[in-house]
Structure 1
Amino acid sequence: MSDDERSPLRERLVDAGVELVLAEGSGAVGLREIARRAGVSHGAPRRYFATHRELLSAVARRGFEELAARFAAVREPDPRARLACLARAYLAYAAERRGMFELMFRHDLLNGDGSAPAGPRLREATVPLFGELARLVARCTGDERRAPVATAALWANLHGLAQLRGWGSTALMLGEGREEELLEAVLAAHLGAAE
């Protein structure tokens, strides 16, 4: 990690970006407003982030770090129960930090070319999370070869569920209080019925 990446001012700019995303949504994140919130001149972000997109990627990377910390806090040893806990953590993160969740999966950020000084492409931040889920899916299904595809399908289903919940659509479809039942149906669809 370079000195610029460890800079307290750089971190303050990212913190201000996170704050702004959470307060006003991912579309409100501009360099000038982040600089204002961080208490620096409007040109200061350019010292650490060559482009607006690079700063957004750093803010989104923070989101993946937060999500990874939530995953790491899950201590359930049983693979299926652990997957259910991780799914709940994912859905809770999406609900509690909606703007960050939206920013983290923006296509233009995930497909960055990695040439910026900020480091590797944002998509690479998802690899460890996906890997953990794939290992658990393989243990649950006993099919290591198919696990990446089953994991991608499970993640897509969870992501869709997070979006539908955020829009209030699941409550409209099923009524209030059936989220856990819906989550169990999602897990059963990808892992088979619970024993």
Structure 2
Amino acid sequence: MAQSDGAVQARLVRAGLDLLAEEGVEALSLREIARRAGVSHGAPRRYFPTHRALLAAIAAEGYRELGRRVAEAVGDPAGPDPSARLLALGRLYLEFARTNRGMFELMFRHDLLRGNGIGLREASRPLFEVLVELVARARPERDGAPPPAVAAGALWANLHGIAQLWQWGSLQMTVGTGEVEPLLRAAIDAHLGPPVPAETAARRH
């Protein structure tokens, strides 16, 4: 019995996910994905208009998985103690990068994903909105502070840099530490200042 288009698309994405986990981004050729999915070499073009579209569909699964983990770790971003929730999000982000190296790279390889039409913005936007909400509630109020979205973007860039440099071993060598936690805390403090008391954060919501 012939499979539906949706079933074949899912098989191709699943094959890509497995290949990515095993061999990394550079292994994600259409030919190898098709072989693993058990379809002809030309089949992916019938279900995804471009190679980038298939890669974007694979990357979208990474965003969904990261989103599920963030929801479990952070809970309601409007809940009490946003500083603790922000720290939990940072830990999870660094752990996801460490344990899903291929996916973590693909999710941010916009040179590969550009113009895909799959909706990666929609897949990634909720994660950033959680970060913005936590930043807005966790940082002290002060004149001249950048908008929460700008501060959240800067913090995200810092966390991403820590994740990448940690994977390469650069930070362990230059900072002389085998623990990433102090770097995470320093990044949050540098961007947000000392934690806001829980009762103050609650009044802001």
Q: TM-score range by the shorter chain?
A: 0.7 to 0.9
Larger Rg: 2
Offset at residue 23 of structure 1 (A): 1.1
Gaps of 5+ in 1: none
CA contact (8 A) 1:110 1:123 kept: no
Give the residue type in structure 1 aligned to 2:12.
L
Give the residue type in structure 2 aligned to 1:67.
L
Runs of 4+ with deviation above 4 angstroms: 142-145
CA distance in 2 between partners of 1:107 and 1:91 (Å): 20
**For 1:74-153, what aligned pairs fall within 5 Å after superposition?**
74-75=73-74, 77=79, 78-112=81-115, 114=117, 119-120=118-119, 122-141=120-139, 146-153=147-154
Offset at residue 112 of structure 1 (A): 1.8
Output the TM-score relative to the length of structure 1.
Answer: 0.88
Give the residue type in structure 1 aligned to 2:106.
L
Kindly, what percent of the aligned residue pairs are identical? Answer: 56
CA distance in 1 between partners of 2:59 and 2:74 (Å): 25
CA contact (8 A) 2:83 2:134 kept: yes
CA distance in 2 between partners of 1:193 and 1:111 (Å): 38
CA distance in 1 between partners of 2:60 and 2:43 (Å): 20
Greater CA drift, 39-48 or 89-98: 39-48
Give the residue type in structure 2 aligned to 1:158.
L
Distance 1:103 1:152, change over 3 A: same
Q: Does 1:168 align with 2:169?
A: yes
Aligned residues: 186
CA distance in 2 between partners of 1:113 and 1:169 (Å): 33
CA contact (8 A) 2:13 2:58 kept: yes
Output the TM-score relative to the length of structure 2.
Answer: 0.84
CA distance in 2 between partners of 1:14 and 1:127 (Å): 21
**For 1:172-191, what aligned pairs fall within 5 Å after superposition?**
172-191=173-192
Give the residue type in structure 2 aligned to 1:133.
L
CA distance in 1 between partners of 2:47 and 2:8 (Å): 9
